[in-house]
Every structure is written in C-alpha cells, then in structure tokens.
Structure 1
C-alpha cells in the first residue's frame, strides 16, 4: 500500500522556503561576522560556548550530542581549535576511557571578546525582527522539530 503525498499548499511552501533561505543567510552572516572579526567559525564559537557553560570541559561525546554533530565532525573541529590553543584534550578523570575537551584561558578570552559580536548579530538579524510572541513560537516549533528528529539520530544521547 503506498502512502499518498501530502503536498504543501502555496502558503506552506512560501513559509518553508523562507525558513530555508532565512536560516542559510543567518548562519552565513553569523559565521562571516565571527570569521571576519576573530578568525573563528560559528561551529568553533558554539564549541567554546558549550564548554564555558559546562565548567570549561565536556566529554567529546557529550559535546557532539549537545550540538547534534557527528563525533568525527567534533573531533576534526576540536583538532583545529587545539592547534590554535583554544582547547585541549585530556583523558577523563572519571573513568580514564573517555576524552574530555577543555577550554583554555586563550579560548575563554576569545569567547569573551567574540560573544558580544555574535549576540549583537543574533539580535540584529533575528530577534529584533520578530515580535516576542513570534520569536517564542519559533522556539516552540524548533524544539518540537528537534524532539521529533532526535529519535532518528542514534548517535545522540538525550541528557
């Protein structure tokens, strides 16, 4: 038995395309702002943020899960950041088996300088363009999408 396709109506299609275009342009702009000012990618910035929010250190697997990235992508990004002196890796003191990424003082200093640029960009290019109710609704929708899709990602552990 074949399932019939539920095509998007014209309004849904416009909204879908607006979402795709808006997210692509927003991510590109936020990435370009960080690269231009700090030679830091948006993904690298997010890693610094995640580490800073977790007392400066996270197991590599937890870091990948928190960003919905593959472990190999996080490993490659951390390797670049390690060469730049922003993070360092060490064996876990909890069990000696896992690897922990730790924020260095240079990484924290860069995060402190980059955060205002990033937050101002998020405000200017997203938050301030929507009224509060629309922005809150957007958050609810994207949380529902994430909750729905995380079950398709066996590599992500919900914590």
Structure 2
C-alpha cells in the first residue's frame, strides 16, 4: 500500500526486532528505524537485524516522555507497531502518539497499529492504554487521518490502519 518504492518505516517499540526482520526481508529497498524504551531489547534487535545493518537505525527513547520524533531526519512513509502502544499507559498517551505520527508521515503515509484492545462488551473505563476499536478510529479521524479502518478485530486484539491525507 505504500506509494514509495524505497520507504522509510518507523516501528514504535520493536522489542527484539521480529516485525523488523520480516519487513526488511520482504522489502529490499526499505529503510527501517526502530524506537524502543528498553536498552536490552535494542541490543537484541541490533543483533537479530545485523544482516540488514546498512538499512536500520535503532534509537532508545521513551515514547511518552521523550521527543522521539526529533530523532528522525528522513521522510517517513509508515509508522507501525505490534502489541506495544497499549503499554504507553493511557488513552491520552495513545492519542499523543498518533498525533506525533501524523506530523512525521509524508502525505499518503500509513500508520498501522496491531495491538491489544479492550473487548467491545467491557464497560469498565480503560485503566491503561488499551482502548476499544471505535475509540482508536475516532482519535485517528479527529487528527485528520483518512481511510481509517480496522482490518482485523479479534475482540481483544485488533489491527488499526489509517493514511495521512
């Protein structure tokens, strides 16, 4: 879905680099930037991604407290995350992360968040960053993202995608 033949993809909280390895293997022209809070995970990812060393950059930063967008200098074509954004601790932190993403992305760029979500029938207010799918969609639409949709909803896990208009 990315219009650019040599995209730059930023992964938020890549952990040990499993998604990065898949992306880099599948897309030989892709440039990858990972941002994670954990120094041990950064080192594990660096070791795992060593075969792609010329195409990766890894940064240690707190996605809530640090100005992580300032670490990025190239145009960003996608911001991705898998099972991590809910760990930011609150709905406000999730919204702030989406807002930072829209400012980073090139026009037409994607945000893809595959994450744990609150079950649709759960009436308790979220105590952490786990939100219901409609709330994720609402935040993204309010920020001005287009083509906002949920492509997978398993009740407790969902994949949310949006494009910068």
Task: Output the TM-score relative to the length of structure 1.
Answer: 0.24
Q: Which has the larger radius of gyration?
A: 1
